[in-house]
Structures are given as structure tokens and as C-alpha cells.
Structure 1
Amino acid sequence: MGKTKGFTFRKIFPSPHKPSLTRSRPFKAYSFVPFSPLAMLDPTILTLGGIVLGIAIIERILERWGVIDLVDQFAKVMRFILPVTFYSALIYFFATFMF
């Protein structure tokens, strides 16, 4: 029978890494992406969005009331106004946003 040998805990597991005494230098991090989500809170864009949302809600209410002919007129007008409003707001946003 072989002789058993005992090991101490310190021999099996090395001691934890000691932090170095030299401190790392702080560095400045710059963002190359100038976009901020807060820029979407522009009052003009919020106003245009609110107007379009209000017209859509009015259209739904009129549809529930059964005034289908008026809803059709709203739909015809909105089919033109929505894309024009969206692209105008997009152009305005990029024209006034400081890059």
C-alpha cells in the first residue's frame, strides 16, 4: 500500500492576485455618435405628431359613431397628409439637428 501524502490548502490553491500598487491612468472617452434620444423631444416634431395622432383618434371616433362618409373623406385627406408630414418633419429634424 502506498503512503498517503497530506497537502495544505495554500499549496493546492494559489493565493489570490494582489492588486498592483500602480494606478491606471484615467482616460477620456469620446463618443463618435452625436445622436441623442432627447433630440426627438423637439416641440415642432411633437406638435406635428400630436396633430396627426389627434386626427387619427377623431377618425376612429367618427367610425364608431357610424359616420362612414366623413371617415372616408378623412382617409382620403390623411393618405396625402401623413407622408408629407412625416417627410417634412424628418427633413426639419435633420436640418436643425447639430451634428
Structure 2
Amino acid sequence: MRKTKWFTFRNFFHRSSLTSSMKPRPVNAYSFVPFSPVAMLDPTILTIGGVVLGIAIIERILERWGVIDLVDQFSKVMRFILPVTFYGALFYFFATFMF
């Protein structure tokens, strides 16, 4: 059983309480932001992005050298590969991301 403390109304309002009668409880803190930008540093995502960026740079270099036929072939292939790579990487990111 709990011990009951008795206070008169006058003593309750005029007395300064030095100790709290309530015990502090541990508080669970939750983050409202489930997404961390650090999660984008996944090595697979960085590798895929690096390969696509490298192919784009090679295409620009070949264009400056004047090899237009090869650049045209690269652009035809990249027109298909870029969207597939983007959606594949996006699917992989959300499939492996821990919420």
C-alpha cells in the first residue's frame, strides 16, 4: 500500500516544494524524418552512377574528336540504358533501404 500524505489547502499553496512528488520517466524519442541522406552513399548506387557518368563523359570526348558515327551509336544505346538504369537503381534503393 502507498503511504498517503495529507496537506491542508493553505499549506499546499503557500509551501514551496523542494522535491517533486513525481518520479521522472524515461522518454522514448522518435524521429519524424525516416530518410537519411547518408543512405544515398550505398556503394552499388555510386557504382551505377559512376558508370553512367563515365559513359556520358566518353560520349562528349568522342564528339569533340569528331567521331560522330560512334557518338550516334552511343546515344542510341544510352537512350535505352539510362531510363532502365535509373529505375533499376531506384527500385534497388527502396528495396534495400531500411525504414
Shift of 1:34: 1.4
Q: TM-score, normalised by structure 1?
A: 0.71
Which residue matches 1:88?
88
Q: One-letter code of the match for 2:67?
A: V
Q: Please, which runs of 5 or more residues in structure 1 have no aligned partner?
A: 1-24
Identical pairs, percent: 88
Superposition map of 1:10-89 within 5 A: 29-89=29-89
C-alpha root-mean-square deviation of aligned residues, in Å?
Answer: 1.9
Write the distance in 2 (CA, Å) between the matches of 1:66 and 1:55: 17
Q: TM-score, normalised by structure 2?
A: 0.71
Q: One-letter code of the match for 1:86?
A: F
Q: One-letter code of the match for 2:90?
A: L
Q: Please, which runs of 5 or more residues in structure 2 have no aligned partner?
A: 1-23
Write the distance in 1 (CA, Å) between the matches of 2:75 and 2:86: 16
